[in-house]
Structure 1
Amino acid sequence: MRIIPIDTVDAPELADYTRLTDVALRRALEPAGGLYLAESTKVIRRALAAGHIPRSVLLHERWLPDLEPLLEDFPDVPVYVGSEESLEELTGFHLHRGALAAMHRPELPALEDVLAGASRVVVLEDIVDHTNVGAAFRAVAGLGADAVLVSPRCADPLYRRSVRVSMGTVLQVPWTRIGDWADAAPRLHDAGFHLAALALSDDAVSLDEFAADPPQKIAIVMGAEGDGLSRRALSVADTVVTIPMAHGIDSLNVASAAAVALYALRVPPTAGEMQPFGADA
């Protein structure tokens, strides 16, 4: 490995790792710079297995043996090594998950490519909490759905917290961004998808009823925390679906709701399909 000791945290080559706890800064810096941060050796392994390319790595010396086999194919990638104190000063938090890797952000695929062969997808409209985005991806991976679509204003699935909460599944589950509903809805319909909006509505059908005879292809549309789905999303939906609730509770956390809906609408896996997207890669 190309190991470079950290002499000063102000070195320009370390700019990818500065102020990682500043969410507003990272939201602007990472997509514009064509990068995302993979945190922990497990997530880095999954990123590499997905074909993503590292541009540098940051870690404490004791984690070098764990990273060495992962980086055998990338001998020219700089590996910055520092003390716990210098790493915390640089990043803004205690680096206790082994390592960070600045990865080149992959180009998003076309919507039609993501939908090809899919029968169950989740659409996240304007979800602002990175934790919820990551948890939704984990539900999609764990429950055997095929892809995630995110709206223009949805939080970045490749933000560090999203990646971590998803257990790295955002690097495995096919996903892309969609345009506004005027563009996205016709394209989903053209691909044969029934748009099922999870929302409270007077004309909603229960999830049990909808799951009793589900369409062959379903796009489960999930709305933002608090406000729920936009009027535009509801207007293009083929069916509004609600999860029956008890004890006066009217809704679930968006990631929990996605998991419930995905389980109810799951397509039974065939032999050998119980670990989608190379879950242990």
Structure 2
Amino acid sequence: MAELIEISDPTDPRLGDYRDLRDVELRKHLEAEHGLFLAEGEKVVRRAVEAGFVPRSLLMAPRWLDGLSDVLATTDAPCYVLSEALAEQVTGFHVHRGALASLERRPLLPVADVLAGARSVLVLEDIVDHTNVGAILRSGAALGFDAVLLSPRCADPLYRRAIKVAMGAVFTMPWTRLPDWYDALPDLSAAGFTTVALTLAPDSTPIEEAVAGVDRLALVLGSEGHGLSARWEQSADRRAIIPMREGIDSLNVAAATAVACYIAARR
């Protein structure tokens, strides 16, 4: 069972994993260097542990000890107990969900392992907003997609904000990064997938038509600002569009993903 350790000093060095959580660049460096990620909130912490991720430590206000007693019983990691006001001094924001956990990252899986047995996958190019990445994983998991592949410059699915928005879907949805950006889509085609890119290209067809009759589908989505690169747009097997009313040409990438996943799941 986790050892409960009461903390009264916000500068306690044992709280290093939880310090300055609003500083995105600092957190990227720290989490990569130490091989950790943070889960926030009772449900997300529980889902991370249930998915087999190993806690380094936990941090929570006293009122959350009973609600997470089953999780605490599964680990020998220390649980730092401190007031919510003190937790805010440490993290830099109000931890209104009351509980945080620092967990060990796992090595990224090879692309072939993530694709094994998959019929529907999402492929993300340079989506840099953590909220969008989290929402995309959540939509994919909810609507029957089997895996997610990310280009090297995509935001980290295990960043705290992405995990929170995904409501833990990142723990159960297989995902990894693509080692070869340039030939990523031809490689998927060679592996038996039909790559369908969401884009405003002139030859795009309605998404319902583009996915019709497709067995193994790789749905390709581009960055928030410029969409897909010319290389990925041109190397996709098909190009698709979500038909919209006149005067509106696009949706937020996370919203577009949800619509496309819903349609693709019913192909």
Residue type at the aligned position of 1:165: V
Aligned residue for 1:215? Answer: 214
Q: What is the match of residue 230 of structure 2?
A: 231
Q: Which residue of 2 aligns with 1:42?
A: 43
Residue 259 of structure 2 corresponds to which residue in structure 1?
Answer: 260
Letter paired with 1:162: A
SS in structure 1 opposite 2:149?
Answer: strand
Q: Which residue of 1 aligns with 2:166?
A: 166
Superimposed CA distance per residue, residues 251-271 of structure 1 (whole angstroms, 9 cap, x where no aligned partner): 111011111111111158xxx
Runs of 4+, deviation exceeding 4 Å: none
RMSD of aligned residue pairs (Cα, Å): 1.3
Contact 1:181 1:236 in 2 (8 A): no
TM normalised by structure 2 equals 0.96
Question: How many Å apart are 1:171 and its aligned residue?
Answer: 1.0
Cα distance in 2 for residues equivalent to 1:63 and 1:98: 6
Partners of 1:31 and 1:105 within 8 A in 2: no
Matches within 5 A, 1:74-93: 74=75, 76-93=76-93
- The 3-state SS of whatever aligns with 1:182 is coil
Q: SS of the residue aligned with 1:4?
A: strand
CA contact (8 A) 1:156 1:162 kept: yes
Distance in 2, Cα, partners of 1:267 & 1:115 = 20
Alignment-mate amino acid for residue 67 of structure 1: L
1:30 positional shift:
1.2
1:201 aligns with 2:217: no
Gap runs ≥5 in structure 1: 269-281
Matched letter for residue 68 of structure 2 = L
> What's the secondary structure of 1:106's corresponding residue?
coil
> Residues of 1 paired with 2:53 and 2:244: CA distance?
41
1:107 paired with 2:93, answer no
Residues of 1 paired with 2:26 and 2:259: CA distance?
34
User: Which segments of 5 or more consecutive residues in structure 2 lack a partner in the other structure?
Assistant: none
Give the distance between the partners of 1:68 and 1:241, measured in 2 at CA: 48
Aligned residues: 266
Percent identity of paired positions between Structure 1 and Structure 2: 53
TM-score by length of 1: 0.91
